[in-house]
Chain A
């Protein structure tokens, strides 16, 4: 560990640290444009010059290019270094346009800050300025090339870090240009990060273009709810409208970046059609009256039919607070539930993954980038959890190897091995791998080289297993856990990483006291034992896989109480509708897929946006003491008021109820010692019992036959996740839904590529164009749970479809 002196202060840092980072540890921020902790040094901007006065290096040097060495003496305030930096700023500004007033970066622009800091107030250059033409980079990023200072951050991020090739650097000399070879939508689903990393205004955020300046925004730390990774972000709001997400660095989770689904998926919170009015059977009322009505309905139902006739359903996007109150209410009052998933398979999957995740195996998203060899089982990173694909890209960049075992035509922005295995054969392959790794392998001869993969994982200094929970069954999920444990016996460090479905799926799994899913609740509604359903932030209309059955069952209920913040056709039909607050108004805690408990602050006070109250033109000319349309409650407050008589109006009682509910929630979860970066819950305290036995041969499930095709309804990067699918911005970049099949499967079922196929289930049809994908496993059909498709006819997201149910259109 070399020791050096920076501005008369000594510091010892690990070998390989750059001087600029060492100074940062002392709290000395050396100016920088091209240096970025995630992208490293390139020495392009020359603005981090410092003076080395003694030691192995002498003179003015770039602090981002010099590794620390013992005995270095560095001065950042040396007159020559300061003068050098002043000149660098001046020449970077030579061609800079006179457009700060109309530039969105103004106010949080690094170039602006350093120009002021370098005391360069008056332009001395009287020559002509070099100009560039701009490109249209699609609906997410605005391009203004005149402002460029050639730091190369964008091309390094886009090509090296994320692995996409369509944006880069062109030209020579002073004509260096950053952009695409032709105008067009950026291909990378991480393109929004360009707006964060650009130190000036070349790339600015297009959806929030001109909406406001950084100083006008209400900015608070928040979390992304659009997948289970729990990436950290800073949300900005102005005039009661959420306008922007920026990545909030958390080196344990998302590093410095965000995917575009997380960055642009916020529109639901300020949507014009967001329900803000409490209603009883479609009639508006005050929230207190509706709460009283719902409470009385619950009491009447309990008196008449017993406590079990009240069922509770919630989803994995609810906060920990909401889940805790629901769990407590169900335990105290004997209600049915809470159901946290749609189908029994999902409930079992969620539960199995959480139970298999032992503390010695669990790795964070950031730790995953340090793995050397990664095996992905039944997960499609780019579509299910995009930031995971970015992590895997770093594995590949540092010389690691990624193997994906998945029936879908998985695509990743780097070279990897893909085994397109039929879902019903995946268990056998994972089992064969486990046996090979344990050394008692009698590798059955398959088309896939299990022995080689086992040898590769065994020889790896740091292997990691990533397993999806969406398309698999609990058996494969448990087997993935066994595989990680088998690797753990031969390695000191082996990782296990489950991709769950939903932001708070981990907490939802801890909430399940028995395996109750919406499917079970509907069974009980149909046999008459459940008479009242309380659905909390659970968009049944969009997410339950059998809409007809759902509608029929809900009609049999005496009462349906719905608490939510998204618009749904059900809202107007239910007996009691209580509007709740999204994360930006309520804040709360979420547990991500590795069991990390993270908090989000409330960003703004809720209410109708100015567009609504002022009729689009300007804010209303009336002054009121309350915010119009702000009567919503955080879901947990509404629940406390529903379950406790005294908690209806007194906030202190609601908070007391919440405290006790959180304390009783689960022994593994301690919300009282929450840290800003989030901390992993005590995975030892999570029961590892109840995991299905994976011993013995894999039971033969007749999912693969020549007469049937296995239909998987899957997640896509854009357009499938409930909340982000409501974003008008992302609608412009989402792909239109298609059914993917292997060309052989298309041919054997008499379908034609590019032509629509109609799938019939009980007199209901789904028509979708077929697209061939030779990378897929044969015998599988993959359809996205797209918001433009009425896919809710199958009853499950993994179903067998017979030949007779498939019709080429027009036949």
Chain B
């Protein structure tokens, strides 16, 4: 159990350090990005996507197996319009207001920035709210 969890904790640990040291967890960096006053965040996102893109293509072409020897399938996202345009825009409003997306919320709380507990509480309320009104929303 602990041993199985360890590789995920380790992956998260490295991710937490990278996001902190790249300052992608910083409210300032998000504000600066949306002001188009720095390339930093755009560089991070672009290189992350390029790395993932090349890696996923290699995995698909070489038919790489996962750690348990099963074929790797990267699931396709469901087709849709409203949920992506509207949901995405709502998310963006929150991202720029709180200056954190879900990963950084957890990272900052771990680092001891307790005020992020309010953002986490809000995020749980928002998630719950979506569950409640999901069937009334266009997807």
Q: Do A and B come from one complex?
A: no
